[in-house]
Structure 1
Amino acid sequence: MAVGDVFVHREEPQEAFQHVDRAFRSADVAFANLEGVYSKTLERAPSAGVPVIADPVHASGIAASGINVASLANNHSLDGGTLAMLETRSLMQANGVATAGAGEDSAAARAPAVIDTDRGRVAILAYASVFPCGYEARPGAPGLAPVRAHTLYSPWETNEWNPGLMPRVTTVPDEGDMTDLREDIARAREQADLVIASFHWGDFTRPFVLTDHETRTARAAVDAGADAVLGHHHHLLRGIEFYGGKPIFYGLGHFAFDLPGLEERLQKSAYLGRGDARLRRESARRFGEYKIGARDGYPLLPFHADGRLTGFAVLSYGDGVLRAGFAPCVLGPDNSPRPVAASTPEGKEVVDYLERACAFEGLPTRFERDAFAIEGVAVTAVTPGS
């Protein structure tokens, strides 16, 4: 099972996953992207935006959830400095949560988390494409595993001048990072029955859209030998496709991602449009209704209402075949994900949203609603379309 961004920072941390923990504990592997730092050894990274940091006591919410693998490759994993990241990693591991995507040097950051199960060995690799400068690991320095790309801007029409028009955006992969990715997957392939690649990537300012970096990198990972790809960072669900018969979950959104007092923290940092009048106007043009900010009735979740639609991916392996599903969930005012069957109005809204995301990007994927259940949680089967 796999979810997107998680960070527990609330008065009762062990209640964060109360509606899904039985299902997670039933899985051989339950994966999440840990979007923040649990540490008392803090030194704010100079390039950090708004740090996502909490006292280690809140990590009990992760440890009690049934999650047993966490990615540390994201744009908040070094907000408190390298020592805080390493302390977070040690804390997770001490609580039975394997980690991938960050470490004491580049080799450690690129190493997979390996889980032995009754049905074989699973290796999970984790990378970030979205992160502040300086968060990347180097041969002699701690950090995260990067998969970067250079961004190019060009006009939509090449036969006319049109100053100020929004450009066409394309990307060129960092060849060194892509070589590392292929080598990492090949090494993991030698030691595991299943290889899963996780990426923190994408444009969180708009719904549905996928960048060329996401589709290119996901397919390159499959070509290199990955059995499935998991994406996160968008805070809104993204489409799902099958490439070479392998499932790619482009964006699992956030799952239980607590951001108490975020508006005040944004104001202090003059971040994401919290600055002078010019910055506010530019932010309004950039984000529109998807601007991150306080939402009435949702004190821990300052995202657009679409961000309350979530769920978890389900991957099952047998007879040499990997099958995919998705369990719809919704986030209420308590910010604890609650499973909903696709046959209910709430569950229908989640699966309808996934279908819209697939249609927007032309991903031919079928959804068989409420195909089966796990620990009482209804799962929609996800299969290739024509």
Structure 2
Amino acid sequence: MSHTEELRIVAIGDAFVHREEPQEAFQHVSRAFRSADVAFANLEGVYSKTLERAPSAGVPVIADPLHASSIASSGINVVSLANNHSVDGGTLALLETRSLMQVSGVATAGAGEDSAAAHAPAVVDTDRGRVAVLAYASVFPHGYEARPGAPGLAALRAHTLYSPWETNEWNPGLMPRVSTVPDEGDMADLREDVAKARERADLVIASFHWGDFTRPFVLTDHETRTARAAVDAGADVVLGHHHHLLRGIEFYRGKPIFYGLGHFAFDLPGLEERLQKAAYLGRGDARLRRESARRFGEHRIGAREGYPLLPFHPDGRLTGFAVLSYGEGGLRTGFAPCVLGPDNSPRPVAASAPEGKEVVDYLERACAFEELPTRFERDAFEIEGIAITAVTPGA
């Protein structure tokens, strides 16, 4: 089926370009992105010179607006601004970032000048129909959420509960069972947002910044519950991000849920120095370092030799982009394996090659860990010369 006969969506997880040659970030994938009707990314940072650090920010992810043009030139035409870094430079910087994207032809979702704007979808009209994209954050510092009279992001929160695994004995210090209770107001807003978008669009995508980035493969009950609630409300696709490591994929009521697309081109130059300066994520006194080591283990964020822009566990170099094609034959779902080298520019790799096999093997492990019945057919088709692994519901 040719591009003219189908509506094609590609989607990546976290993206933020902050490097000496920003136009090189997407050099290996931009042709595929430009071939799509909708190319989505979570914009994990702020492009602005109007900065006032949010008091609750951890380590701000901020770059000069000169780097922002790399997003639109890559072919990306929709971004989520709902994440834990979107208000790092204050609300004026958030709105400047939003304006920079929109002026360059990139639609935005998930943040705005008030709660109504933050909950409004990005809408893309294509030759084969209208696509609406909604975006929410479940992970963010206090105060980043939009309110009726204040800028910020669209929140999808939950309250965390801790209970003992064994109810018939005392066992002080044992790791607890963790469960969550959704914020009913946020869930009601989600259902209303999706229903309104459904009335305006032929296809509705819901994006969520969520999950536990300290461990591989794990999905919280908040993620699975929220993803399925979005589909029940009328969403056709669910896209998750924040984990920095790929997560599993499932089909619910025939709709694809990409629980974690990882990071794609996510530049964090000099992060270790910035962490030390802020005494953040375990940087500080000896007690904080010990607690951080116990909390993160080998997945502790920090400098990685040979990867100056990517301070994550080596598994974080395994990435890719989702591919969704809607045509006369229905939905075709796929994933394009990519790897991140020392230049932090994602490079597509066929699943039949050793590097591509590693990516798809990792996805299969993620699905098996959470018992998601999903099948992967390696190198099933191509787009713009890039080998795509087909993703289908399992038994």
TM-score by length of 2: 0.97
CA, structure 1 residues 129+320, in 2 after alignment: closer, same or farther (shift >3 Å)?
farther
Task: Return the match for 1:315 from 324, 333, 358.
Answer: 324
Instruction: Give the whole-Å Cα distance in 2 for the aligned partners of 1:367 and 1:134.
Output: 41
The question of whether the paired residues in 2 share the 8 Å contact of 1:295 and 1:303 is answered with yes
Point out where structure 1 has 5 or more consecutive residues left out of the alignment: none
Partner of 2:86: 77
Task: Return the match for 1:285 from 294, 297, 300.
Answer: 294
Aligned-residue offset at 1:319? 2.8
Task: Tell me the SS of whatever aligns to 1:135.
Answer: coil
Task: Return the match for 1:259 from 268, 274, 292.
Answer: 268
Instruction: Give the whole-Å Cα distance in 2 for the aligned partners of 1:60 and 1:142.
Output: 24
Instruction: Give the whole-Å Cα distance in 2 for the aligned partners of 1:349 and 1:184.
Output: 38
Aligned-residue offset at 1:97? 0.5
Partner of 2:60: 51
The question of whether the paired residues in 2 share the 8 Å contact of 1:371 and 1:381 is answered with yes
Amino acid paired to 1:117: T
Amino acid paired to 1:269: A
Alignment of 1:103-252 (within 5 A): 103-252=112-261
Aligned length: 386
Partner of 1:359: 368
Instruction: Give the whole-Å Cα distance in 1 for the aligned partners of 2:87 and 2:221.
Output: 26
Task: Return the match for 2:377 from 365, 368, 372.
Answer: 368
Does residue 28 of structure 2 align to residue 14 of structure 1?
no
The question of whether the paired residues in 2 share the 8 Å contact of 1:315 and 1:325 is answered with yes
Task: Tell me the SS of whatever aligns to 1:116.
Answer: strand
- Which aligned runs of 4 or more in structure 1 are off by greater than 6 angstroms? none
Alignment of 1:264-343 (within 5 A): 264-319=273-328, 321-343=330-352
Instruction: Give the whole-Å Cα distance in 1 for the aligned partners of 2:329 and 2:38.
Output: 18
The question of whether the paired residues in 2 share the 8 Å contact of 1:246 and 1:322 is answered with no
Amino acid paired to 1:298: Y
Instruction: Give the whole-Å Cα distance in 2 for the aligned partners of 1:121 and 1:382.
Output: 24
Q: CA offsets, 1:30-68, max 9 Å, x none?
A: 000000000000000000000000000011211210000
Instruction: Give the whole-Å Cα distance in 2 for the aligned partners of 1:377 and 1:93.
Output: 29
Instruction: Give the whole-Å Cα distance in 2 for the aligned partners of 1:383 and 1:107.
Output: 36
Q: CA offsets, 1:246-302, max 9 Å, x none?
A: 000000000000000000000000000001000000000000000000000000000
Amino acid paired to 2:25: A
Amino acid paired to 1:329: C
Instruction: Give the whole-Å Cα distance in 1 for the aligned partners of 2:48 and 2:68.
Output: 10
TM-score by length of 1: 1.00
Amino acid paired to 1:265: R
Q: CA offsets, 1:347-367, max 9 Å, x none?
A: 000000000000000000000
Instruction: Give the whole-Å Cα distance in 2 for the aligned partners of 1:271 and 1:116.
Output: 43
The question of whether the paired residues in 2 share the 8 Å contact of 1:273 and 1:282 is answered with yes
Q: 228-237 or 318-327, which moves further after superposition?
A: 318-327
Task: Tell me the SS of whatever aligns to 1:307.
Answer: helix
Partner of 1:61: 70
Amino acid paired to 1:368: E
Instruction: Give the whole-Å Cα distance in 2 for the aligned partners of 1:118 and 1:356.
Output: 38
Instruction: Give the whole-Å Cα distance in 1 for the aligned partners of 2:146 and 2:206.
Output: 18
Aligned-residue offset at 1:342? 0.3
Instruction: Give the whole-Å Cα distance in 2 for the aligned partners of 1:156 and 1:168.
Output: 6
Q: CA offsets, 1:114-167, max 9 Å, x none?
A: 000011000000000000000000001000000000000000000111111100
Instruction: Give the whole-Å Cα distance in 1 for the aligned partners of 2:240 and 2:330.
Output: 21
Q: 316-325 or 272-281, which moves further after superposition?
A: 316-325
Identical pairs, percent: 90
Aligned-residue offset at 1:321? 2.3
Partner of 2:14: 5
Q: 319-328 or 42-51, which moves further after superposition?
A: 319-328
Amino acid paired to 1:103: G
Amino acid paired to 2:376: F
Does residue 102 of structure 2 align to residue 93 of structure 1?
yes
RMSD: 0.5
Aligned-residue offset at 1:320? 7.1
Q: 261-270 or 319-328, which moves further after superposition?
A: 319-328
Instruction: Give the whole-Å Cα distance in 1 for the aligned partners of 2:344 and 2:308.
Output: 9
Amino acid paired to 2:208: F
Task: Tell me the SS of whatever aligns to 1:30.
Answer: strand
